[in-house]
Amino acid sequence: MVRKSVILGFLLTVLTTVIKAEDPYLFFTWKVTYGTISPLGIPQKAIMINDKFPGPNLNTTTNNNIVINVINNLDEPFLFTSGMQHRKNSWQDGMPGTTCPIPPGKNFTYHFQAKDQIGSYFYYPSLGLQRAAGGFGGLRINSRALIPVPYADPEDDYTVLIGDWYTKTHVALKDNLDSGRSIGRPEGVLINGKAGKPDGTGEPIFTMKPGKTYKYRICNVGLKMALNFRIQNHKIKLVELEGSHTLQNLYDSLDLHVGQCFGVLVTADQEPKDYYMVASTRFLKTVLTSTALLRYEGGKGAASPELPKPPVGWAWSLNQFRSFRWNLTASAARPNPQGSYHYGKINITRSIKLVNTVGKIEGKKLRYALSGVSHVETETPIKLAQYFGVADKVFKYDTIKDEPTKVDTSNILVQPNVLKIEHQHLVQRGLMCVCRVEPGKWTPAKRKNYNLLDAVYRHTIQVYPKCWGAILLTFDNCGMWNIRSEILEKRYLGQQLYVNVGPPDYPRGMSTAFQQTVSVVALSRACLILSLPETRFNLVWRGSAWRLVAQGRW
């Protein structure tokens, strides 16, 4: 009897969830233009969103539907992506392999959902070296009110985007790479678009009320450099890493590698005055540093010009990384704890060894590769080619081997790099757990030492020089997904690949709305004019979907 009522109760919950009204919609219009900024004292061309650099913060809540009409007023194509997860919808992921860029003077409306996730992320341009000119901004996904968060509501929630900065334009940096040279070292570091010096000048970027606790979402939006982040006299309590609640350890400073975001709590528990927030480069002989002022409300006194020292060496960084653990009992975006998933119990069905290599092509041009293949974008995005049934004309699947040989790693082949992976029918969202990062060479025996319990689920991982890292991924999210080096010059020069999860004809199962999105994308973009010889294409409505029909001969 008791059991029955429990089951009934469960069914009722399911029913009410299904009947419930659609999740809220948030609408935005983003105008993308050039602007002039001089963060390092030299005026330079930047990419602004709604006249802002960095762009506006995207403030969303779990399951919100987000609709952004992006108007590209640049004289070059534009496209942006973010670290958030798109459930079964790689069409909105904004990577050049899945979406056509927005041509100059045109607009495109992104439509995606922050499904079953929380956390701190940022969005950024995904084409060429545009990220070097800005076009990025913070993206936060708040927890829904009914899901408890493992800390008290902070007094306020601040976004801090730190990153290295170059004074050359994104076009000049791209020309560098196209001609086979590296982009070299950055000239400075920016905090929310500005490079501050500890000279007593400058306005505070944030204020704190004495005694109150604030949440800071810190992301490294730079191109190349790992940065150390710290605040004079204040401890930093880590509470969230790219969407997962962590064990709440206190740190004096945190190392953020490119692309990483941390959610931390800072309590205004010091003498009420000004303090510097500091971001400085790691693993560089000449350390580049930037500061920003924090002010206590009603406080008196300038910040001390003496900045806390950065840590030295990468062993410190690796040790800190090892202290990051998942809080298994904290609630997740779904109403059960994060650790209820037991990822360590999932049987491993495929192991892929990716080796990063660097080499020269045509005798002199720098290229980076994964297991010997250096990815190049195709004129028709690979996802669209696949959708319209012409994948074989545009790219080949599985050109890298799961276990690379010496030949694979000593040669560099420049071609699209696309892996095909079977869809795994698991009910939960895909996981990327970093179960180990260690110096030396990986061998199968190292599997014994993996953390199969509380490694943090996140979307970026740093692998230190002459080290290896092991990650566990669950491929239950159908679509075409990009796996990439976050170091922009390496990515641009080929260190990335696409993973096709699930049957290639998956979009046939898409809702009508999605099919329409795809056909609109296809019709409005120049990139679908497949430049295959002697072939013309027609889009026709067949049954319930648009199909691309080739005329002429192959």
Ligand X SMILES: *[C@@H]1O[C@H](CO)[C@@H](O)[C@H](O)[C@H]1NC(C)=O
* Stated length of the chain: 554
- Residue from 5, 17, 201, 347 in contact with ligand X (CB under 6 A): 347
- Residue from 150, 180, 308, 469 in contact with ligand X (CB under 6 A): 150
Smallest separation (angstroms) from ligand X to the CB of 416: 26
* Residue 214 binds ligand X, judged by CB under 6 A: no
* Residue 207 binds ligand X, judged by CB under 6 A: no
Find where tokens 């959902």 sit: 113
Q: What is the x/- site pattern for ligand X, positions 116-145, by CB under 6 A? A: --------------------------x---
* Residue 59 binds ligand X, judged by CB under 6 A: yes
Smallest separation (angstroms) from ligand X to the CB of 545: 19
Applying CB under 6 A, what is the total number of residues that bind ligand X? 18
118 Rama class: left (phi>0) / alpha (psi -120 to 50) / beta:
beta
Q: What is the x/- site pattern for ligand X, positions 376-415, by CB under 6 A? A: ----------------------------------------
Whether residue 543 contacts residue 398, with contact meaning beta carbons closer than 8 Å, is answered with no
Our CB check for ligand X shows the closer of 455 and 487 to be 455
Whether residue 125 contacts residue 131, with contact meaning beta carbons closer than 8 Å, is answered with yes
54: preceding bond cis by omega (within 30 degrees): yes
SS3 letters across 30-57: EEEEEEEECCCCCCEEEEEECCECCCCC
Smallest separation (angstroms) from ligand X to the CB of 248: 4
Site for ligand X in 218-277 (CB under 6 A): 247-248
Output the CA angle 374-378-384, nearest 5 degrees: 125
Segment contacting ligand X by CB under 6 A, of 84-92, 101-109, 271-279, 477-485: 101-109
* Residue 73 binds ligand X, judged by CB under 6 A: no
Smallest separation (angstroms) from ligand X to the CB of 120: 13
Whether residue 113 contacts residue 63, with contact meaning beta carbons closer than 8 Å, is answered with yes
Instruction: Return d(Cα 318, Cα 269) in angstroms, integer.
Output: 29
- Contacts with 236 (C-beta within 8 Å, 6 or more apart), sequence order: 216, 229, 230, 250, 251, 252, 253, 254, 264, 265, 266
Smallest separation (angstroms) from ligand X to the CB of 107: 4
In sequence order, the β-bridge partners of residue 190 are 163
| Sequence letter at residue 5 | S
* Residue 346 binds ligand X, judged by CB under 6 A: yes
Segment contacting ligand X by CB under 6 A, of 35-43, 46-54, 106-114, 482-490: 106-114
The helices-and-strands tally (H runs, E runs) of the chain is 8, 31
Site for ligand X in 451-490 (CB under 6 A): none
Three-state SS at 85: coil
Smallest separation (angstroms) from ligand X to the CB of 193: 18
Smallest separation (angstroms) from ligand X to the CB of 101: 13
DSSP 285-307: SS--EEEEEEEETT--SPPPS-P
- Residue from 327, 462, 474, 496 in contact with ligand X (CB under 6 A): 327
Residues at the site binding ligand X, with contacts judged by CB under 6 A: 59, 61, 69, 107-109, 142, 150, 247-248, 327, 329-330, 345-347, 520, 524
